[in-house]
Amino acid sequence: MTQEKIEEVARRRGFFWKGSEIYGGLSGFYDYAHLGSAIKIKWENEWRKFFLSLDDNFFEIQPANIMHEKVFIASGHVDSFVDPVVKCKKCGNFERADQILEHHLKENFEGIEPKELENLIKKHDIKCPKCEGKFEEVGSFNLLFPLTVGAENPQKAYPRGETAQGVYVNFAREFECLRKKLPMGLAIVGKAYRNEISPRNLLLRMREFTQAELQIFFDPEKIEEHPKFEEVRTEKLRVLFVKNKESKEITAEELTNRLPQFYVYHMAKVQKFFLEVMKFPKEKFRFKELSEEERAFYNKYHWDVELELSNGFTEVGGVHYRTDHDLSGHQKVSKEDMSVFTDKKILPHVLELSFGVDRNVLALLELNYREDERNFFTFPRNVSPFHCAVFPLVKKDGLDELATEIKELLKENLSVFYDNSGSIGRRYRRMDEIGVPLCLTVDHKSLEDKTVTLRDRDSMAQVRVKISDLEDFMRRFFKGEDLQNLGVIVK
């Protein structure tokens, strides 16, 4: 499915659109509408439920979005958070040098030195996409948004370029509060801000975006072990090694010949989240190993999480072994001792599980859209914008009153959409188009025998269920049971 089609459906039905749209929009900023917000919130809640349950010592925190300048001096962002940029000599248009090469040559140029990028642009005679002018030399552009805080004695600060730094500056206090135990995981689901040179591809590259990250602090001497590794030992992981051109499947145990057990365990759990919780097709998912040139200098191991979208395999997350880079940097600049004492004094290392929330929302839209005799989204039941729609067959004879009672009953545990206008067929189609997995209809028979009709979005099968059994039906349906096993089939 093309991104143009996704954008058209998203705007028309109410998933997302450009920010400040009535003033022409602001590049790199998007507003989530009512359906997009519902999916995004449900994705975030599923992420919390899954990853924070991996260990009893994993918790979510909410640091400030705007942080002291020294935070980003210590992290290296002030000096190193840059992208290679080229400027058109003719019209002044700016482009990211590696991305414009990627667009023309269909290869990945991330991490290539600026001079080499410049030589490649000249060699292939790549010109400005806006005016066909030639580019100047490749320069660098820092992605942080600088700002000042206060009036009388203003301080320099930055909206965070990544959520991770909010964890690192709070590590020492949280370690004390959480009774001094490792491993310790601190998660953030929140906004980050990057002044992207050329934001593009809808929600894939934005200037304001949401990240879901879990920073796991651990004893580096224990990286070759994980107490729950037996759970994943035989799991087959889909991986693309640096030297390979095709993805392959390899067991977690086999992968420990190349990567530490602690690292592989968390890779297996990340894959489980994408395949079993978000229901992405296995063939659309892979881990991609980054070369030394591609990965951040502080990452000893770096594997991207990729999904195959309309523009090819696309990064939507990552598993990063950041060593002690961040804590040692903050220790040096702040003069605060970041080492801790468990059975010995150590400076913990960090394993980061990082996810772009907006990219995952876009992936849900792209990979679940279907067009045949009807247009519809096959969202997983747990992240659809509404769990269920409730319809009275007509707005009279007491059907609307009973339907309203059922709606209020279901709303105690589920998100419910109520619709009493138009033909029942059109109402079904409206719900299909926004991905609601289940429709409940109250008809005249409901008044007689206290049953309702339930229709499955994907198969369009219908069953009859007693109103008194609805709570049990919903529980089992949203745990994944087939609708046709849960009621009397309507022929």
Assign 183 to helix, strand or coil. coil
3-state secondary structure 353-383: EEEEHHHHHHHHHHHCEEECCCEEECCCCCC
The CA–CA distances, whole Å, from 144 to 149, 159, 357, 412 equal 15, 7, 20, 43
Residues 202 and 27: their CA atoms lie apart, in Å, by 10
State both tokens at 296. 């951040």
58-60 and 184-193: which strand pairing?
Answer: parallel
Q: Please, where are the H alpha helices in 141-218?
A: 164-168, 171-177
In single-letter form, the type of residue at position 6 comes to: I
pTM: 0.93
Q: According to the model, what pLDDT value does residue 108 have? A: 76
Domains in the chain with CATH codes: 3-76+156-367 (3.30.930.10), 82-142 (3.30.40.230), 374-489 (3.40.50.800)
- Dump pLDDT digits (tens) for 292-312: 888 877 889 999 999 999 989
The interaxial angle of helices 114-123 and 97-105, nearest 10 deg, is 40
Q: According to the model, what pLDDT value does residue 193 have? A: 97
Contact assessment for residue 69 and residue 155, using Cβ atoms and an 8 Å cutoff = yes
State both tokens at 85. 């940029």
Listed as ranges, residues in the chain with pLDDT below 70 are 1
The CA–CA distances, whole Å, from 382 to 182, 391, 458 equal 32, 21, 15
The CA–CA distances, whole Å, from 329 to 169, 262, 288 equal 10, 24, 28
**Residue 102 dihedral angles phi and psi, to the nearest 5°:** -60, -40
Residues 472 and 487: their CA atoms lie apart, in Å, by 11
Residues 340 and 183: their CA atoms lie apart, in Å, by 12
Residues 317 and 209: their CA atoms lie apart, in Å, by 13
Residues 135 and 128: their CA atoms lie apart, in Å, by 7
State both tokens at 107. 């290869």
Q: How many CA within 13 A on the CB side of residue 163?
A: 25
In single-letter form, the type of residue at position 261 comes to: Q
Q: According to the model, what pLDDT value does residue 1 have? A: 58
- Dump pLDDT digits (tens) for 112-144: 888 899 999 999 999 999 999 999 999 888 889
Among residues 417, 407, 355, the alpha carbon closest in space to that of 385 is found at 417
Please count the residues of the chain.
Answer: 491
